[in-house]
Amino acid sequence: MPPLHEPIPPDVLEWCQAELGLETVPAEGPEVPRDRLLAFARALKDQHDFWFFLYCASTHYPEEGSAGEEGHKPDRTLVAYRVRRLPHAASGRPTQTFPFRVWVPTGESTPSLAEVWVGADWQEREQFDLVGTVFAGHPDPRRLMMPEDWPGHPLRRDYAIETGHFPWR
Amino acid sequence: MAVDESGQAFRHPAYGMIEGLTSLPGVDLAFTTADKVLTWGQANALWVFPMATSCCGIEFMATSANRFDSDRIGTIPRATPRHCDVMIIAGTITVKMAPRVKKLWDQMPEPKWAIAMGSCAISGDFYRDIYSVVPGVDTFMPVDVYVPGCPPNPDGLLEGIRRLQEKIRNKRNGAFVEPDKRPIAGLQAPSIPRIGDPDRDPAIDAAQLEAVQQLDPDGGMRRSSAPPAPTRPVRKED
Query: By three-state DSSP, how is residue B142 classified?
Result: coil
Cβ partners under 8 Å of residue A7, min gap 6: A27
Domain for residue B19, yes or no?
A: no
Report the length, in residues, of chain A: 169
CB contact (8 A) between residue B193 and residue A138: no
HSE-CB of B56 using CA atoms within 13 angstroms: 27
Helices (runs of H) and strands (runs of E) counted in chain A? 3, 5
In a domain, B20, yes or no: no
Q: Is residue B12 part of a domain?
A: no
Interface of A with B (CB under 8 A): 75, 106-107, 109, 128, 132-135, 138, 141-143, 145-147, 149-154, 157-166, 168-169
Residue B2 lies in a domain: no
Q: What's the number of CA atoms in the CB half-sphere (13 Å) around residue B171?
A: 16
Task: Identify the CATH number of the domain in which residue B116 sits.
Answer: 3.40.50.12280
Of A134, A149, A158, the CB nearest to B219: A149
Question: Contact, A153 vs A131, CB < 8 A?
Answer: yes
Establish if B57 belongs to a structural domain: yes
Q: Which residues pair with A76 in a beta bridge?
A: A61, A105
Whole-angstrom Cα distance, residue A24 to residue A16?
A: 10
For the entire predicted model, the pTM comes to: 0.70
Contact A134, A110 (CB under 8 A): yes
Contact by Cβ (8 Å): B204, A162: no
Element (H, E) at A104: strand A96-105
> How many domains does chain B divide into?
1
Would you say residue B175 lies in a domain?
yes
pLDDT in tens for each of the 238 residues of chain B? 455 566 555 555 555 556 666 666 666 666 777 777 888 888 889 999 999 998 999 999 999 999 999 998 889 999 999 999 999 999 999 888 888 898 999 999 888 899 999 999 988 888 877 878 888 888 888 888 999 999 999 999 999 999 999 888 877 655 554 444 444 455 454 455 555 667 667 777 777 666 656 654 544 333 334 444 555 555 555 5
- Residues of A within 8 A of B93 (CB-CB) are none
Residue numbers of the domain that contains B99 = 34-213
Which one-letter amino acid corresponds to residue B103? K
